[in-house]
Amino acid sequence: MTKATPRVFSGMQPTGNLHLGNYLGAMVNWIAMAQSHESIYCVVDMHAITVWQDPRELHKAIRDVTAAYVACGLDPKKSVIFNQSQVSAHAELGWIFNCVARLGWLDRMTQFKEKAGKDKERASVGLYVYPNLMAADILAYRATHVPVGEDQKQHLELARDIAQKFNIDYQDSIAEAGYAQGFFPQPEPMITGPATRVMSLRDGTKKMSKSDPSDLSRINLTDDADTIARKIRKAKTDPDALPSEVPGLKDRPEAANLTGIFAALEGATVEKVLGQFGGQPYSSLKNALADLAVARLSPIAAEMTRLAADPGHIDAILADGSARARAIAAPILKDVKKIVGFVQS
């Protein structure tokens, strides 16, 4: 396997508001990794259109998600921040990976089954091959580390399978191109922290998601202080007091979710949170959680509003990031085409 220099890649879909799950499951780790690694963070607009998006709303959402990246604390001078459709390497490598991945692999993807629902004949072809494009996103930069939430684990495994199959299928050609130990690295999923799967505030067995019809189920990064506090107050609970130790969270999804969120926001462990709130009614945890969530999220919302007032600035960030992304991907794509056998003039 190639001993590649560490490089971080990840992305979020511009399909509406980012929420606390995106923030705690992914963004917090993106920010941490950006301190110590070369990092590339993408607004994956081409993934968004695998399900219908109104063009005007998509246009706005791309800018809003970019603003959210910056408002959360990513520095566009340090990290490469851009939108996917401005860098054609994603689509080009995505096509090559459509020809590497096997139908059987994609048939096993649970997210396709969930998103396509019962009527899969009517799902777009793009939705089906989505994981191949995701592999291309990562491997167009030969990225080695991918910070994501739990729900992306299966897609990351597929990206690793694609990298491996490409390295094996083309091994002679790869060696001829001067790569002694395979061309693509095995990208490492980074799924860490106490909130890798933030659950709905209305149902602790369902993932917090943009597509849940109930806005009470999630905390949006744009919610104001009153809304955040109200949603936490109304969050579903069970009738018992909070347990004092982690095993006591078993079969208590709402308790596990709220303590996990608290721990992630505070930068503490769930053990420590239970040490503080164990034996107490939910209301004491909820009051403290509302204060903590408002303190952490309000400055982000304020910064997003400030940035949204200047779309020219956001577009300039995306233009600069796209140019830098293209420069990294171009020589990699050139080598891929050579390895595959394409004539390049």
Q: Which of 271, 191, 196, 284 is nearest to 241 (CA)?
A: 284
Q: State yes or no: residue 8 binds ligand TYM (CB under 6 A).
A: no
Q: CB of 180 within 8 A of CB of 1? A: no
Of 197 and 230, which CB lies nearer to ligand TYM in the complex structure? 197
Task: Tell me, residue by residue from 28 to 67, as one string, x for binding to ligand TYM by CB under 6 A and - for no binding.
Answer: ----------------x--x--------------------
Q: Is residue 101 at the binding interface for ligand TYM, with CB under 6 A as the rule?
A: no
Q: Which residue, 22 or 275, has its beta carbon nearer to ligand TYM?
A: 22
Residue 152 touching ligand TYM (CB under 6 A): yes
Cα dihedral: 265, 9, 75, 54 (round 10): -90
Binder to ligand TYM among 7, 8, 17, 22 (CB under 6 A)? 22
Name the β-bridge partners of 41: 10, 81
Contact region with ligand TYM (CB under 6 A), list: 33-41, 113-121, 151-159, 249-257: 151-159
Give whichever of 63 and 207 is closer to ligand TYM, judged by the CB atom: 207
Task: Confirm whether 234 is a catalytic residue.
Answer: no
Q: Across the beta sheet with 188-190, what order do the strands follow?
A: 80-83, 38-43, 7-12, 145-147, 188-190
What binding mask, one character per residue, do residues 120-139 give for ligand TYM by CB under 6 A, x or -? --------------x--xx-
- The reply to whether 149 sits near ligand TYM by the rule CB under 6 A is yes
Query: Rounded to whole angstroms, how far apart are CA atoms 180 and 113?
Result: 39
Residue 206 among the catalytic residues: no
**Contact, 198 vs 24, CB < 8 A?**
yes
One-letter amino acid at 122 equals: R
Give whole-number Cα distances, 71 to 15, 191, 297, 306, in Å. 18, 22, 10, 9
- Minimum Å distance from CB 303 to ligand TYM? 19
Is residue 208 within the footprint of ligand TYM (CB under 6 A)? yes
Interaction between residue 256 and ligand TYM (CB under 6 A): no
Given 7, 10, 96, 185, the residue binding ligand TYM (CB under 6 A): 10
Q: Residues with Cβ < 8 Å from 3, sequence gap 6 or more?
A: 181
Q: Which of 115, 153, 165, 338 is catalytic?
A: 115
Give CA–CA dist 12/83, Å, rounded. 10
CA torsion through residues 204, 210, 212, 214, sign: positive
The DSSP H or E segment spanning 189 is strand 188-190
Residues in a beta bridge with 82: 42
Q: Does 94 bind ligand TYM (CB under 6 A)?
A: no
> Taking the CB of residue 302, how many other CB atoms lie within 10 A of it?
12
**Nearer Cβ to ligand TYM (83/175):** 83
**Shortest Cβ 68–ligand TYM spacing (Å):** 11
The size of the interface with ligand TYM (CB under 6 A), counted in residues, is: 25
Q: Which residue from 142, 202, 207, 296 is in contact with ligand TYM, where contact means CB under 6 A?
A: 207
- Whether 207 sits among the annotated catalytic residues: the reply is yes
Scored b (16 or more CB within 10 A) or e, 79-92 reads bbbbbbbbbebbeb
Among 7, 8, 13, 300, which residue sits at the site for ligand TYM (rule: CB under 6 A)? 13
Residue 197 binds ligand TYM, judged by CB under 6 A: yes
Say which of 153, 165, 210, 236 is annotated catalytic. Answer: 210
Residue whose C-beta lies closest to ligand TYM: 25
Catalog residues that contact ligand TYM under the rule CB under 6 A: 9-13, 21-22, 25-26, 44, 47, 134, 137-138, 146, 148-149, 151-152, 155, 196-198, 207-208
